[in-house]
Amino acid sequence: MHKRVINSRQNQHQVLKQRSEFKDMDRFFVSCLILLVVSGCVYQAEPAPEISNKSAPIFSLPKIFSMPKLKVKANDYVPREWIPLQNVEKKWSAIIVHHSATNYGSAAIFDKWHREGNKWKGVGYNFVIGNGTKSGDGEVEVTYRWRQQKVGAHCWTADNWANKEAVGICLVGNFNKRSPTPKQLTSVKKLIHFLQKRYGISDDRVYGHKYTPGLKVTDCPGKRFSMSKLR
């Protein structure tokens, strides 16, 4: 009977010891879990990344095109269509000013006349400046010959140098009868200034049509158009 009591006490002591060990282990695991959460190793809101054998898509960087620098004053506004694309832009050495010798007109009208009447590929000028009839007064229209930097069809010489090397500007109007409008003069001066600065064209290379070297006789750009007003 005495032995049974001793054994029973020993068993109780072992049970209590095991319970104490389990409590210590529980405290240890809880402490580890708290450390993991605080340290950021466990974050339920963001799933773990998936591992895939597929290669990531390759994206090409966009090409960067630089616009040509303008050699004009900082306060001068130059329409973008005046600036040719770099891959087609050529060197120009002169400027020739014309009048249309008509009371009205526009780039589209001259294009039609030159195609149908002269059997050309299109309007012969690089720029057309309106007088307020079929386009705006002083409006500068850019033709396909300038956009594509094509040889002109506005001034015939023996070696055709003027069409190849000179920019042709036509002001709508008959300047044997009346003078160009103030807005036309403002626009043509600004355009000429831009072209001179961009291509290094000197004043003595800016011609009225009738003053072009090697040209046959003409009265263009008219008796009432003074080249001195463009200086």
- Confidence grade of residue 229 (pLDDT, cut at 50, 70, 90): confident
The residue ranges of every structural domain in the chain are 1-43, 80-230
By CB atoms closer than 10 A (0-12, 13-18, 19+), residue 32 is: exposed
Say whether pLDDT at 128 is over 70.
Answer: yes
Top-confidence residue, 104 or 36: 104
Tally of helices (H runs) and strands (E runs) in the chain: 5, 5
Rounded to 5 degrees, what are φ and ψ at 193?
-60, -45
Kindly report, residue by residue over 174-205, the tens digit of the pLDDT.
999 999 999 999 999 999 999 999 999 999 99
C-alpha dihedral, 84 to 151 to 88 to 93, nearest 10°: -70
In whole angstroms, what is the distance from residue 175 CA to residue 222 CA? 5
Say whether pLDDT at 13 is over 90.
Answer: no
**Mean pLDDT score across all residues of the chain:** 79
Considering the entire predicted model, what is its pTM?
Answer: 0.68
Assign domain 80-230 one CATH number from 2.60.120.480, 1.10.3470.10, 3.60.10.10, 3.40.80.10.
3.40.80.10
Contact 169, 126 (CB under 8 A): yes
